[in-house]
Structure 1
């Protein structure tokens, strides 16, 4: 059944997700802080809106794919926010990586306004989002799934239902981010050591990606290093934030996370050195005394 969807945030992941919903035949009302992004999407089908509130009016479901809790707050309750414009009984689907306790509290706030809420962080990268093959880690009341479950299936190959209350999805997501951040940091450390020891970067990459030491993050992110392409698909500062959330969660229960703490410091160092908006593989730039691969002159 065709639904009207308010979609907020057309970045690397959001644009692909919105495209999957459009291919499934739904009507989209889209908003992005970059008006040109909303206009470009609408040119292929959909309506570009001037604010989150405009995107939410008349929508059955509003899906938000922004960076963090602060941006989600602005989307909902800031100037032109969508909470006041949503129809009674409409569902807000929150796809950001946030503090699980904040997500649980947001469920209560929206329920008090007569709105449904789904805690639904995402993973998989831009390519999987564009092809509808990403993963969603979700939690919320059964009645909310009844209203938006078909939309989740249109956007993701795997939709995990992790509990009947918001927060469980966000807990699993930050654990995923723990591993992702540690794996990127470890991959950068390994590549840096290889460069320091005079191993050819391409040869090291070939061997590791066909050996037991490989990880998805090594294979994906060290390819960026080899190409000397630090265009931010996921930026260093994303992991400053996400590993910070991991540590905050563990700190509340006095749970030790030695590897996460070290990885967080590595991303902090990279950010402080001026690489915060570069691709997260730029964490390799913190290592001294190495010569990183460079782009061929024809590409520079």
Structure 2
């Protein structure tokens, strides 16, 4: 096999993981994938080979990419019933591309030491549309040689993949800061447009006009357009994701003894949304949540 191609085991085929696996396979890498959801495996393109178990996917792989949702899921993939840790070789490179938090990745790297010491922490940002184009921002933490060994994969998945630190967990730290900004910006967009509506403004015009000035942001543009259209059932990023991610933000802030009052307020808004049965809606539904009781 060419040094610029890899045998890749891909674990986790959610909204982001599936197009990423397809991009990797389409670029010449050999990708064998597994997900606990049979529908995710059935939806794979012909360039990706489905596996019956996670261990089957890992058999013969140079690189193992893990793209699951939470820290407990990461732990289960590695060490749970049917976990892959015992199937790894000392040369295996494990690439964690999920947003699972600093503690989860640091703990996984430590627990993997008897099996492999090659762990790259590489959470992604950019959403499904950019995942489909190989245009993600990837925040990479890990040993320089380990990162270099998977550069050919990072090349096809992201347009930017800065190395932000030498240890597993460093990428997660950057992603926590990223999610603080994203979560607060979505909440602020929902609050601003709800206020516009309460004052009797044309919400669509407000969104259009303010996107031309200093108040504009990616989230105000992107999520704001969904808020204006009230497209809450076409889920491109579920509200439940920000319940999880803002929890990671506030956990990291407590560990660092850093006040994050805006993040804490945004977290409570997402928690309220899940409590009211909106967790599987698009995260732009925070606009509807803030307007409730006035219609």
TM-score bracket for this pair, using the shorter chain length: over 0.9
1:260 to 263, 268, 285: 263
Normalising by structure 2, report the TM-score.
0.94
| Unmatched segments (≥5 aa) in structure 2 | none
1:194 and 2:196 correspond: yes
Separation of aligned partners in 1, 2:48 and 2:19: 14
Q: Deviations over 1:267-289 (max 9, x none)?
A: 11111111111111111222234
DSSP 3-state at the match of 2:90: coil
1:232 and 2:235 correspond: yes
1:36 and 2:42 correspond: no
Residues 119 and 90 of structure 1: is their aligned pair in 2 closer, same or farther, counting only changes over 3 Å? same
Deviation at 1:60, TM superposition (A): 0.4
Q: Deviations over 1:180-216 (max 9, x none)?
A: 0000000000010111111112111111222211110
Normalising by structure 1, report the TM-score.
0.92
Deviation at 1:136, TM superposition (A): 0.5
Separation of aligned partners in 2, 1:78 and 1:18: 23
DSSP 3-state at the match of 2:113: helix
- Report the more deviating stretch, 282-291 or 189-198: 282-291
Tell me which residue corresponds to 1:272: 275
| Unmatched segments (≥5 aa) in structure 1 | 292-300
1:147-158, aligned counterparts within 5 Å? 147-158=149-160
Tell me which residue corresponds to 1:242: 245
Separation of aligned partners in 2, 1:21 and 1:253: 36
Q: CA RMSD in A?
A: 1.4
Separation of aligned partners in 1, 2:229 and 2:243: 24
1:20-169, aligned counterparts within 5 Å? 20-41=23-44, 43-169=45-171
Number of matched residues? 290
Deviation at 1:167, TM superposition (A): 1.2
Separation of aligned partners in 1, 2:293 and 2:210: 22
Separation of aligned partners in 1, 2:220 and 2:52: 40
Separation of aligned partners in 2, 1:13 and 1:283: 22
